[in-house]
Amino acid sequence: MKKRKCLIAGNWKMHKTPQESVNEALKLVSMLDEKDFEKYDIMIAPPFTSLSLVSESIKNKNIALGAQNIYFEAQGAYTGEISAQMVKACGCTHVILGHSERRQIFNETDDFINMKISSAISAGLIPVLCIGETKSERNSNKTLNVLDKQVQNGLKAISVSTGNELVIAYEPVWAIGTGETASPEQVEEAHFNIRKLIEKIYNKNVADNIKILYGGSVKSGNAKELLSLENVDGALVGGASLRAEDFTGIIKA
Ligand code: 13P
């Protein structure tokens, strides 16, 4: 029996209109039952434009709502940006930060992500800090160094007391949307090292409590094996979270 309750989180990325999001969320609600919620915490992260409506449709349903990004300022002249306070007011409890798509396509740095983590926690949101190595970093044996640096820099001066204020998601860049999943050995090695580092930065209690999710081509066929690993406390799912049938397939696996 695992010490930590698993979190199965769906990152919808830039998919679905508000109406499509509501339809999918309602379908998800109808397909989940008490047993699923006893075993798992469940979170979905639709695009910003769907948050308010989806929040209404999952009210009192035990499904947490996450945003996919925020800017670190609370308000101001930042055309096109959205703050932690704003997504919180839309019903969010979580926010995905530092996703490799943000790092690679939008040039987000560890320092920038660190400011957003700080802002999210101050606003009472739970950040899901995403980290992961590229294929070439893995091939040159830099994986653990890259992950250490992303965790250390991402959490610089972030104070954490229980470990429940924060979630970490290990998502190898080469496994995202490729159908190629990291092997159980690769995943467990990464998660074990991340937890050790969290113990070093904070303490054993924080390290024992913090959820470390795996992401990268998770689907119903590989979820069971990945989720049974000792240091894996859930999954961050992209493609397979877009249809309630696939997402619940993972949960029920
Ligand atoms: P896929 O599940 O589509 O590989 O995406 C993973 C991901 O990026 C979740 O944040």
pLDDT in the model for residue 52: 98
pTM for the full predicted model:
0.98
- Give the model confidence (pLDDT) of 69-128 as tens digits: 999 999 999 999 999 999 999 999 999 999 999 999 999 999 999 999 999 999 999 999
Kindly tell me the burial class for residue 78, based on how many C-beta atoms sit within 10 Å of its own C-beta (0-12, 13-18, 19 or more): exposed
Active-site residue flag, 15 = no
Active-site residue flag, 225 = no
How many CB atoms lie under 10 A from the CB of residue 148? 16
Note whether residue 114 is domain-resident: yes
pLDDT in the model for residue 1: 59
Question: Looking up tokens 């899901």, which residue turns up?
Answer: 128
Note whether residue 1 is domain-resident: no
Using alpha carbons, list the distances in angstroms from residue 103 to 69, 116, 126, 190, 239: 12, 13, 19, 19, 19
β-bridge partners, 41: 7
Classify residue 54 by its DSSP letter. H
Q: Which of 133, 137, 171, 191 is catalytic?
A: 171
Q: What's the rounded Cα separation, in Å, for the pair 125 and 64?
A: 11
Q: What's the rounded Cα separation, in Å, for the pair 121 and 114?
A: 11
Q: What's the rounded Cα separation, in Å, for the pair 84 and 119?
A: 7
Q: Which of 99, 101, 108, 191 is catalytic?
A: 99
For the chain, counts of helices (H) and of strands (E): 12, 8
In contact, 150 and 110? CB cutoff 8 Å: yes
pLDDT in the model for residue 3: 77
Ligand 1 neighbourhood includes 218 CB (under 6 angstroms): yes
Q: Per residue of the chain (253 residues), what is the pLDDT tens digit?
A: 567 999 999 999 999 999 999 999 999 999 999 999 999 999 999 999 999 999 999 999 999 999 999 999 999 999 999 999 999 999 999 999 999 999 999 999 999 999 999 999 999 999 999 999 999 999 999 999 999 999 999 999 999 999 999 999 999 999 999 999 999 999 999 999 999 999 999 999 999 999 999 999 999 999 999 999 999 999 999 999 999 999 999 999 8
Ligand 1 neighbourhood includes 119 CB (under 6 angstroms): no
Ligand 1 neighbourhood includes 216 CB (under 6 angstroms): yes
Whose C-alpha lies nearest to ligand 1, atom 7? 238
Q: Whose CA is closest to 137, among 120, 156, 150, 125? A: 150
Determine the residue type at 76. G
Residue range of the domain that includes 186: 6-251
Counted domains in the chain: 1
pLDDT in the model for residue 253: 87
CATH number at residue 190: 3.20.20.70
